[in-house]
Structure 1
Amino acid sequence: MKRLYTFFMAAALCLSSNAATPINVVNGISQELAVSRAAIVGNITYDLTFNIPASKTEAVKGNATITFIYKSGKTDLQLDFQGAPSQFDGLCIVNGKQIAVAWQDEHILIPRKSLRRGKNIISMSFISGDKSLNRNADYLYTLFVPEHARSVFPCFDQPDLKALFRTRLNVPEGWETITSVSTERIPTYLFSFVAGKFSKQTQERNGRTFTALYRETDAKKVAQLDTVFDIADHSIRWFEDYTGIKYPFSSYGFVVLPGYQFGGMEHPGAIQFTDHEIFLGEHPTPEELQTRVELIAHETAHCWFGDDVTMRWFNDVWTKEVFANFLASKIAKQLFPDVNHDLNFLRMYQTRALSTDRTQGTHPIQQQLDNLNSAGLLYGNIIYQKSPVMMRKLEEQMGASRFRQGLQEYLNTYSYSNATWDELINILDRYAPEAHLKEFSEAWVKQKGMPTVTTQWNDGKLIITQSDPFKRGLTWQQSFLVDAIYTRWRN
């Protein structure tokens, strides 16, 4: 259903009668729209100003100047923006001229006739929706994954249109702020800002400066930041060694948030952590200590896997999560050598994966996604638990050394850009052609379910077989480590 809005008097300018009629204007960001925009828009820079009042009942207002290179297009250009009619006045300045624009189904439609090949500049004022501002009495933090940046400011809200962000936050006196990096291109879902009454601490490790914002007041808990900075520094140096690539961003900062809805979120330069996994009790258990290490290592891993090289479309969102989980577990194994990590892996990943994958309602790791407004439905045990099981078996098929070499080529090839799972498999396949990774990927990633594995003792031999519970004839390539326990009976 289309919505009709009444704009200010200047809207009487209306769209010129020869403006192109937009097509495929729908709520959310369809894959069709994303593909078409990625072909004609690039080199994006957002200059954003947000005026944040002290009272959370007052609106956050802002201004956006969006600079980009435009190739050509047959229809009006769609900018993504949600909200009520009062949040946008229908006016834009496009390449120096003020025009009235239509706002339809969560999109601002920039007339094709107002755009030109090459550099274009669009400016507008807006009122942010509260949906993803996470406003509290004296602080707020944004969380835009997977496609909620458009609820706060007009943008191209898709992962393969990376941009530079230059951000100005006008905040009440005494408030601290932190924003995502401004010197490297990132997608909109990784852009973030935090503002409020926070304490701030800055420390240096091995020539690198780390910054933390936090609201914790217990001195003993705050003292744990020394350890948190140590873990972050260790994680960075581990990933630099493993990938052969220096830390990809200009800063490493984080904010520790009370009651945060996730464990963490990997905004480069402004990582968000939940307080209860960072600030531990006076006598933390070994499991709590390891969980903290894995959380920090997980979000740091994303700086390479997800932030530097980003999935092209959110059907591959699992790729960033699998590497973050899988590689963070390697760091934990190094730092906690006395722990039975194989048993932990079985407990944390395989059993949880099977709890979903053995049901009729299971789904493939890589799922179809037609519109980003449904991307939140992709998350679950299959993405977070089955994919590390798959990746461990893929590494076993290739061998750890060749697996690592392939990942290094992947990161170097697509640095500060976007890639698909298939493009990664193509690279890995060259390092281990005998592993038949395309067939491996078809069964493990693109099809649902797990095999039914049976064993039989026959004529002094242990025979292991697998069958496809969905009767598709699939074979899941994998190795088995078998322990045989037997007793010799005496007559």
Structure 2
Amino acid sequence: MNPNVRPVHYNIHLYPDLTTFKFKGTEEVLLRVVEPARAIEFNGLEMKVLSAAVTVGGAVWPVKGVSENAEKEAFVVELEKEVPVGEAVLKLEFEGEINDKLAGFYRSRYEYNGQSYYLGTTQFEPCDARRAFPCWDEPACKARFSITMTVQKDLTALSNMPIKSETTEGDLKTCVFDVTPVMSTYLVAYCVGHFEYLETTTEEGIKFRVYTVPGKKELGRFALDVGAKTISFFAKYYGIEYPLPKQDMIAVPDFSFGAMENWGLITYRETALLCDESSSFVAKSRVAYVVGHELAHQWFGNLVTMEWWKELWLNEGFATFMGTKAVDHLFPQWQVWTKFLNDHVFRALRVDALRSSHPIEVDISVARKVDEIFDAISYAKGASVILMIESALGEEPFRKGLNIYLNRFKYGNAHTEDLWQGLTEGSGKKVSNIMDPWVKKIGYPVVTVEETGQPGKLKITQNRYLAAGDVKPEENETIWPILLGVSTQSHPDIKYVELNTKEAVIDVDVSSNTEWIKLNAGQTGLYRVQYSAALFKRLGDNLSALSARDRAGLQNDAFALAIAGSISVVDYLELVSKFTEETNDTVWSDIFANLAVVRKLFDSPSMEKFVLKLVSKIGGELGWSGKPGEDESRSSLRGSVIATLGAVGDVAVIEEAKKRWTAFLSDKNSLPADLQSGVFYLVAKNGGEAEINQMIEVYKTSTLPAQKVTALRSIGSSRNPELIKKGLEYMMSEEVRMQDRFILLAALASSKVGRDICWDYVKQNWSLLEVKISHNLLPRIISYTCEDFSTPEKAKEVEDFFSQHKVHGTERTIAQTIESINSNTAIHSRNVAQVSKYLEQFN
């Protein structure tokens, strides 16, 4: 947008109609004119501007006409003469559709008492406010918003601010909301529909509500309690009061993302907000985390906003990190910083190992390309880098630096350098020198550790890690500043050593040259570690001496090194075979995920026997029933272990799952929530059409959001080709919401037979998928269908298809998917003979 004309204050009056799915609106925008202008340009998409008028100093300014630039998603009001420097007012009338695209101002359908109803809601991030009202739809174009809505009098209208006044005339009521603080357009929100709510007040006196569609408000009680405590925690932590008079959170039946941090009116997918005391540990911990993530945004992102989307990580990386910090404060027994490894650090390392990755800060010149960077790099790598910063600076200097940054830029926009400056002032350390390579460069290093022959001296080398294993010299020029956490057998307390060169010899505290030595101790660094064979064996032989975080990191690094060909898959399996005594749910979760990859690449009865031997001990210890006072994470682990044992053919587990399913059909309270995922999966995988139909019925009738998703995913667990095809048909039916179709597809494509059938379906029905899947969910359809292929022919097939079926905003996903297929191909060909021989001997 032209920087010489900027909005100061929007006065918007909306007239939504939930029967015709149309809306009309009027708008007055107070403008600041920096230089004389003959035209006023603003964003608008899929709407009609019915009239435009301009006044300057109260006098009407002649308008020549209004034109639309569809490519720029903009309108231009052309003037007969220049508007002078100063203030002007733009008056507009417009109309548009309450669409079904999960973007802009859209509609969402729900059932209540056997009838269908609709509500209207918004999703504006990153650049869809322009679908709902004419605006300057860029993060730096901050303004105040005065919003008024005229709706049917039996409906509830919500927006960012509380209602200031309400008047009724006939069947309509007009709700006038208080003026907002200065904020970006992507944070504006409004909802209209039949809602019910729960309410509490924070200790600071902020009114806090959770809204749902009728019949579901009691499922919001956990989120209400977590949310009210979290907002108080952040106010104290940041040292800045929550700046609005109220905070609403609303569960929306149709929602593309997990949640959206609209200031004062956060919108959520139902699974991210609603649960009850009977819900699984996974469901409750997800709600707690997502609530924490979104409330963290009320400061990081809303109060202080990135200048442009290239610095999206300032929003999402911080919210991911701070959401975890809030959950740890409320639920210290959950050990969420260990879980942080699985959810964020390992995820970041996996994606950033691809050539087709991107730096945390990535140049985005076209707004519509922003969707592609709402990914693991902005969220997970961003959060992992922040964990590194906090570890390097210390918790209190880090918090002090954040306070400086937030106070200095509140109600404004900021750059990464501004954050570095605040942290530098808070800690006394030059943060930009430490962190710039991590943010501005693609990838991360693998640190190679070798013994020198002298006790206590190690040779350390850093090089870029790539999953393909074939790093070229021009890709290996970055030198990352690394703070090496070191722990040893005789000196287990972590000590830190700086590495600022490609190679170095470092001193470590050991009493003999036969001790185990762990680098990246505590797993706060974003790098891999490759040990010499002797050091690697010592760590594997002393797993019980390591923390859960270090056991998880050792295992995950070994898997990544096997992927890259730095060690063999057999070396990885040898290490994993030593984890039979493992009890931590996070460690097991990552082992299961990595073994799932290995099983797909080297599928055989021998591989199933390997997994069965590995998991049998913990399976026997956990059994099917929990003990009084048992930790919630252990209950969650039980479900994962049962699913894994059944997946590799444990007949007793499969038969018990079938018995419990039969009991569940008669009494829905008979099966604990933490067991449902495993039982549902095993029944569907080993059943027939009758079981799939039963699963569909559970999906249709369940009132618990997490249980519905579990049933939907299980519909895709069959290995029967005809049932897989039936699952694809059901996926595209009106019974499955647009937001959930990718969930079923991912399950259907998780087996070899399913993958081929799903890929054929995608190719044959691509034009239908483009209509029936929200544009920001299409990348998931591509990756979930194709990324597990493992032949060069499939890589070529995928590349050829999408070169002929280009979809804006999926280019990076396609490149990453093809790279993953090529990587799978190389891993298989490099290891297949050796793995087969090893498994034969092992079994």
Q: Could you say which TM-score interval applies, normalised by the shorter chain?
A: 0.7 to 0.9
Moved more, 371-380 or 360-369: 371-380
Unaligned runs of 5+ in 2: 109-116, 162-178, 465-470, 490-515, 517-537, 543-843
Distance 1:336 1:58, change over 3 A: closer
Which residue does the alignment assign to 1:202?
199
Which residue does the alignment assign to 1:133?
105
Q: 2:367 aligns with which of 366, 372, 383?
A: 372
Q: Does 1:63 align with 2:57?
A: no
Which AA in structure 1 matches 2:6? V
Distance 1:384 1:473 in 2: 22
Deviations 1:165-218 (A, max 9, x none): 111111123111111133311110000110112223433333321233211515
Distance 2:128 2:451 in 1: 56
Which residue does the alignment assign to 1:174?
154
Counterparts of residues 434-449 of structure 1 (less than 5 Å): 434=429, 436-449=430-443
What is the TM-score when the length of structure 2 is the normalising length?
A: 0.51
Which residue does the alignment assign to 2:190?
193
Aligned length: 445
Partner-residue secondary structure (3-state), 1:368: coil
Q: Does 1:476 align with 2:443?
A: no
CA shift for structure 1 position 69: 2.2
Which residue does the alignment assign to 1:212?
210
CA shift for structure 1 position 458: 2.4
Distance 1:203 1:433 in 2: 41
Which AA in structure 2 matches 1:480? G
Which residue does the alignment assign to 2:341?
346
Counterparts of residues 235-314 of structure 1 (less than 5 Å): 235-280=230-275, 283-314=278-309
Bigger Rg, structure 1 or 2: 2
CA shift for structure 1 position 482: 3.6
Partner-residue secondary structure (3-state), 1:271: strand
Task: Report 1 or 2 for greater relative contact order, CA contacts < 8 Å, sequence distance ≥ 6.
Answer: 1
CA shift for structure 1 position 75: 5.1
Deviations 1:324-373 (A, max 9, x none): 11111112112222233343121111211111111111110000011222
Moved more, 194-203 or 141-150: 194-203
Q: Does 1:142 align with 2:142?
A: no
Moved more, 145-154 or 274-283: 274-283
Which AA in structure 2 matches 1:365? I
What is the TM-score when the length of structure 1 is the normalising length?
A: 0.85
Counterparts of residues 76-91 of structure 1 (less than 5 Å): 76-83=39-46, 87-89=48-50, 91=52
Alignment RMSD (CA, Å): 2.2
Which residue does the alignment assign to 1:228?
223
CA shift for structure 1 position 381: 1.0
Partner-residue secondary structure (3-state), 2:485: coil
Determine if contact 1:148/1:189 at 8 Å carries over to the other structure.
yes
Distance 1:142 1:233 in 2: 23
Distance 1:211 1:342, change over 3 A: closer
Determine if contact 2:260/2:294 at 8 Å carries over to the other structure.
yes
Deviations 1:38-94 (A, max 9, x none): x5535x111111111131x4421111111122221455221111236xx12354344
Which AA in structure 2 matches 1:474? I
CA shift for structure 1 position 104: 3.1
Distance 1:250 1:212 in 2: 15
Unaligned runs of 5+ in 1: 1-32
Distance 1:223 1:89, change over 3 A: closer
Deviations 1:356-393 (A, max 9, x none): 11111111000001122221121111111111111111
Which residue does the alignment assign to 1:51?
15
Distance 1:383 1:133 in 2: 26
Distance 2:200 2:391 in 1: 39
Distance 1:237 1:168 in 2: 30
Distance 2:234 2:276 in 1: 29
Identity percentage of aligned residues: 23
Distance 1:281 1:235 in 2: 18
Which AA in structure 2 matches 1:68? L
Distance 1:73 1:398 in 2: 48
Determine if contact 1:210/1:229 at 8 Å carries over to the other structure.
yes
Distance 1:91 1:386 in 2: 45
Deviations 1:138-182 (A, max 9, x none): 211011111111122111111111111111111123111111133
Distance 1:51 1:117 in 2: 33
Partner-residue secondary structure (3-state), 1:305: coil
Which residue does the alignment assign to 2:463?
467
Q: 2:76 aligns with which of 98, 109, 116?
A: 109
Distance 1:108 1:250 in 2: 35
Moved more, 479-488 or 338-347: 479-488
Which residue does the alignment assign to 1:6?
none
Distance 1:345 1:203, change over 3 A: closer
Which residue does the alignment assign to 1:455?
449
Which AA in structure 1 matches 2:213? R
Which AA in structure 2 matches 1:176? T
Distance 1:483 1:110, change over 3 A: farther
Deviations 1:237-283 (A, max 9, x none): 11111111111222211211113222211111111112123222552
Q: Does 1:321 align with 2:310?
A: no
Distance 1:74 1:91, change over 3 A: closer
Which residue does the alignment assign to 1:26?
none
Distance 2:120 2:488 in 1: 54
Which AA in structure 1 matches 2:325? K
Distance 1:64 1:368 in 2: 33
Which AA in structure 1 matches 2:432? K
Which AA in structure 2 matches 1:78? E
Distance 1:358 1:226 in 2: 41
Distance 1:431 1:244, change over 3 A: closer
Distance 1:171 1:40, change over 3 A: closer
Distance 1:394 1:74 in 2: 45
Partner-residue secondary structure (3-state), 1:203: strand
Which residue does the alignment assign to 1:153?
133
Determine if contact 2:22/2:96 at 8 Å carries over to the other structure.
yes
Distance 1:60 1:170 in 2: 10
